[in-house]
A and B are shown apart, each in its own frame.
Chain A
Amino acid sequence: MKLDDVPQDKSSSYGGHKKLLYATTSEGRYTGTKSSGWDTEAFATTLAVEALEQQAQEAYNQWQQGLLSPLPYLMYQARLDETGLSQISGFWRWRLRRHFKPAHYRGLSSAILRRYSDALGVPLAQLKAYQSQANQQE
């Protein structure tokens, strides 16, 4: 890639940062240069983020309807899927799925919620508040 061809498309996913990459001068010599983003890359990123947000929105709706515990929503918010949450929290996937049920979630101990708090970066108090919120809905 020549220096003139280095894209400067100001991708929003770069958050105002610039990445370094290597390109050639007109004499064909390599040098480091900065790029503010590339539309091709941004399109792929946006599509992936949208897919995740859609999943999060669905999980949020189901939580509000009392069909799921808040955990799936928080999981997608933390950019995780079941495999990832399982690895980070140390819970087997079948246990995760139990905790995804509102009735099970209400009965979870502080010790278990603490592990979710660490894995998802959500304060323990908030996870506990969601337990009693769920109770009030019934």
Chain B
Amino acid sequence: MTFTHQQSAHCESGVMSSLLTNAGFAISEPMVFGLSSALAFAYLPIVKLNGMPLIAYRMPPKHIINTLNKRLGLNIQSKRFSGVEAGQLALDQALANKEAVGLQTSVFWLPYFPAEMRFHFNAHNLLVYAKENDNYLISDPVFEDVVQCSTDALNKARFAKGALAPKGLMYTLGNTPTNVNWPKLIRQSIKATTRILDGLPLPWIGVRGIAHLAKKIAKLDPAATKYNRLYLTHIVRMQEEIGTGGAGFRFMYASFLQEAAIKLNEPVLHDAANQMTLIGDGWRGFASQLVQYCKAKQAKPNFAELAASLQQLAQQERQLMQQLAAWCKTAAKL
């Protein structure tokens, strides 16, 4: 089997783009991301990471695979396993059939990751495209080139325990899509995103979640210097380091809007793409602002200023979502 590796910004959208493209249905990573309505924001104080709240800038793991499966009718075959042996056997059999296989794994146990990048995240997606002797040949979407991994190490990564345990999850493509109704599908997916970001009556999700985080920052205790530094840099880490991060996802969505604008010849979407780019720039500016604050160790903390920047981003995202929601109601061009 000839397999072409492509580097991606995010593992799950990258795996789906790569699987489909290699099966003969060329689709970009941003298109996968947009069509599966993966853009989001969530502030989850109940889920703790080293004592800090989880802040997510996209939908939870498996959302992209499941949504794309449904919208494009991919008939994806996925399996989980109760034991390591059964999981390895199924993977080896699929590879013997010359299939590319998607796996859910834990980053911490993958030896080809640099030590500095390893942490306990159990929902990393990658593609295995062949096996040579005791080594799996892997196309990991976030890496520049293909990599290899020993059988033992990959088994450990597939059957890692803890939150979001992969339980050996593997998946293969059933069909490639035929007769895609792009105007309908793009409207449907954008509409879903506007609902997630600006339509749920929950204080922690979407634009409300961003505003909620801004309020949390405004209420930080100026005396707790050490905690504040860790809290503010934690926001930056969740935004930039983990996965692609907030700004990265905003840029990817802007890229999707641009591609959709060209595909459907819709100037409204071009305009939306430009606005989303500005929002992404705003998020990066916010990250710089947080880090500059932490570096300065200034005597007078000005949390109100930081919170105001975030409130502004929330406002911009809300306006853009309202515009997009209005566009979704317009009739498709023939």
A24, B277: Cβ atoms under 8 Å?
yes
A19, B142: Cβ atoms under 8 Å?
yes
Number of B residues near A (Cβ < 8 Å) is 52
CB-CB contacts below 8 Å: A74-88 with B: 78-81, 83-84, 87-88
Contact of A87 among B9, B114, B163, B280 (CB under 8 A): B163
**Contact digits for B226-264, partner A, Cβ 8 Å, 1 yes 0 no:** 000110011011001100100110011011001100000
Decide if A18 is an interface residue (CB 8 Å cutoff): yes
Known: A15-B115, A43-B295. A32 touches B7 (CB 8 A): yes
Residue among A18, A19, A28, A34 with max Cβ neighbours from chain B (10 Å) = A19
Known: A1-B284, A14-B117, A81-B51. A30 touches B291 (CB 8 A): no
**Contact digits for A29-62, partner B, Cβ 8 Å, 1 yes 0 no:** 1101010001011011101110110000000000
Decide if B137 is an interface residue (CB 8 Å cutoff): no
B274, A48: Cβ atoms under 8 Å?
no
A20 and B28 CA atoms in complex are apart in Å by: 13
Some 14 contacts from A to B, beta carbons below 8 A apart, are: A17-B143, A20-B7, A20-B8, A20-B9, A24-B277, A30-B30, A30-B254, A40-B236, A41-B241, A44-B287, A48-B230, A78-B108, A79-B118, A87-B163
B233, A15: Cβ atoms under 8 Å?
no
Q: In the complex, what residues of B have CB within 8 A of residue A18's CB?
A: 144
B48, A83: Cβ atoms under 8 Å?
yes
A73 and B8 CA atoms in complex are apart in Å by: 36
A80 and B9 CA atoms in complex are apart in Å by: 26
Decide if B184 is an interface residue (CB 8 Å cutoff): no
B8, A48: Cβ atoms under 8 Å?
no
A102 to chain B, nearest CB (A): 25
A-B CB contacts (within 8 Å), total count: 121
B244 to chain A, nearest CB (A): 7
Which residue of chain A is the closest to B120 with respect to CB atoms?
Answer: A84
B120, A44: Cβ atoms under 8 Å?
no
User: Interface of A with B (CB < 8 Å)?
Assistant: 1, 12-24, 28-30, 32, 34, 38, 40-41, 43-45, 47-49, 51-52, 78-81, 83-84, 87-90, 119, 121
B118, A22: Cβ atoms under 8 Å?
no
Interface of A is mostly: mixed
Residue among A16, A30, A32 with max Cβ neighbours from chain B (10 Å) = A30
**Contact digits for B150-165, partner A, Cβ 8 Å, 1 yes 0 no:** 0000000000111100
B248, A21: Cβ atoms under 8 Å?
yes
A81 and B48 CA atoms in complex are apart in Å by: 10
B242 to chain A, nearest CB (A): 10
Contact of B114 among A15, A21, A30, A84 (CB under 8 A): A15
Q: Which 3 A-B pairs have the closest CB atoms?
A: A15-B114, A30-B255, A44-B233
Known: A19-B142, A20-B7, A20-B9. A88 touches B118 (CB 8 A): no
Which residue of chain B is the closest to A11 with respect to CB atoms?
Answer: B116
A50 to chain B, nearest CB (A): 10
A12, B48: Cβ atoms under 8 Å?
no
Decide if B82 is an interface residue (CB 8 Å cutoff): no
A53 and B196 CA atoms in complex are apart in Å by: 38
